[in-house]
Amino acid sequence: MTNLSNTSRISITKRIAAALVATAVVGTGVAAFSGASSTPAIAEAVRIETPAVAPGFADIIEMVSPAVVSVRVKSNITPANSREFGFGGRGFEDLPDDHPFKRFFREFGPQFGPQFGERDRRGERRFDRPRRARPVSQGSGFFISGDGFIVTNDHVIDRGTDFTVVMNDGTELDAELIGTDPRTDLAVLKVDADRDFTYVNFADDNKTRVGDWVVAVGNPFGLGGTVTAGIVSARGRDIGAGPYDDFLQIDAAVNRGNSGGPTFNLNGEVVGVNTAIFSPSGGNVGIAFAVPASTAKEVVSELMDDGNVERGWLGVRIQRVTPDIAESLGLDISDGALVSDPQQDAPAAKAGIRAGDIITAVNGEAIEGPRELARAIAAYDPGTKVDVTVIRRGKERTVSVELGELPGEQAAAASPEPEEVPESALEDFGLTVAPSEDGKGVVVTAVAPRSPAAEAGIRSGETILEVDNEAVSSASDIEKGIDAVAESGRKAALILLERDETSRFVAMPVDRG
């Protein structure tokens, strides 16, 4: 078993640092001698007759490359031909010669490759769709233990049936899927072989700073063992991939096939797992995202243990506290997560958390927004009791909640067809509403353009459940609530909306002018 020792890391770092310093000193030699205050050390460095060696990453790569692998994934997806696409059971080749689809593929088929629209050796024209068939896909990974555990991305192995890892010396080994976590796009494979593997460790990414050097190693476009270098461009990126987004952004060249590969610091430690790129063209433009080591370490440890990741579950729909919403509540805050809907029979609802509560802390840990709340709750095991600090009607209180286990995706119930009901107009706010079928709230049937309601983001088809944390069931209830807000001196009313069993708050201006 080979692992990078502290001595090796220190030696590598010192050599790189020395080269960087030497280059910097030689580059400022004139400035160093232009003043009488030049130090002897600088003067001695400038007198070096041989050119300073440019800083490089060869020592790091030599140490870590044996731990990085290419991942090949086979699936049972089979090529689909045109006979599978309908047309009364006929394929494209069976269509009449003057049919527009047949003319299209006769004229443009060759641009899709030799499988699309060209004749095979028997002279028959083929209309297979190679883009839909992906029997083999490729990505990257790395050994995280000497006994053969490998980290990669969930999307690399998704739908795979057979997995092969290719080491940097060309050795191919079969691998077994141990577990996946789609929420963080991580997966763990296991290789069984009568040998010890060189492996790498996760870094403490809390020490990773914007501007630090990083090196990415992977298998872009099937070209295994490719090394690129860059810097950490940003931390804590939210790219909309999921509730636990907290990516490192790097500018090292990362392309298709790098997914699942490691990004190293100058100590040869993994600071991130390459996962996504931003690219209008599909190629590298210097913006890549990696799952940070702190997240990957926790998830990988659980996957190695039993193949699953268990997370605590609060059971609330939440949204950010905008300045308008804060003002509508009469609060001078911008942090926290606004509860728009505590799910029925979920831990939060059972503990007494209500719609309109603003969660500001969990076990004393401040919550800046929805993303921070999701990560904080997920860090606890199901069954853990936590103290949740909320602000309700301007007053702070603490609620004790026993967390549940995060469930799978739940299917939304179908909405019944609405019946025709009488409408009421709230012209000052650009709203037309009607009573809801179940008597809970009023349904928005129309929103006037450029009105206060439109400005607040209220849409036709939504149901207004509350105004200023008070339930409403008619247009007059809405007007009374808005008038009460105006009389209190606030400029906007907090309105709770619901659509397709999903709730959200908006702040609507109360100025009737």
For the chain, the 3-state helix, strand and coil shares in percent, each to the nearest 5, are 25, 30, 40
Known active-site residue 212: no
Known active-site residue 155: yes
Half-sphere exposure of 77 (CA within 13 A, CB side): 16
Known active-site residue 185: yes
Residue 293: which residues within 8 A CB-CB, separation 6 or more?
Answer: 202, 203, 204, 205, 208, 269, 270, 271, 272
- Active-site residue among 82, 145, 259, 328? 259
Burial of 383 (C-beta count, 10 Å sphere; 0-12/13-18/19+): exposed
The one-letter amino acid code at 19 reads A
Best CA proximity match to 267, nearest among 191, 347, 212, 211? 212
Residue 379: which residues within 8 A CB-CB, separation 6 or more?
Answer: 298, 311, 312
Q: What is the C-alpha to C-alpha distance for residues 472 and 466, in angstroms, rounded to an integer?
A: 5
Pairing state between β 431-435 and 358-362: unpaired
Bridge partners of 402?
Answer: 385
Bridge partners of 150?
Answer: 143, 189
Best CA proximity match to 233, nearest among 247, 253, 215, 248? 248
Let me know: does 295 contact 246? Beta carbons within 8 Å. yes
- Active-site residue among 155, 251, 324, 341? 155
Residue found under tokens 């309109």: 356
Residue 203: which residues within 8 A CB-CB, separation 6 or more?
Answer: 265, 267, 269, 270, 271, 293
Let me know: does 441 contact 465? Beta carbons within 8 Å. yes
- Active-site residue among 154, 181, 185, 245? 185
Q: In which element (H, E) is residue 2 found?
A: strand 2-3
> DSSP readout, 378-447?
HTSPTT-EEEEEEEETTEEEEEEEE-EEPP---PPPPPPPPPP---EEEGGGTEEEEE-TTSSSEEEEEE
Let me know: does 324 contact 488? Beta carbons within 8 Å. no
Q: What is the C-alpha to C-alpha distance for residues 182 and 88, in angstroms, rounded to an integer?
A: 38
Which amino acids are annotated catalytic? Answer: 155, 185, 259
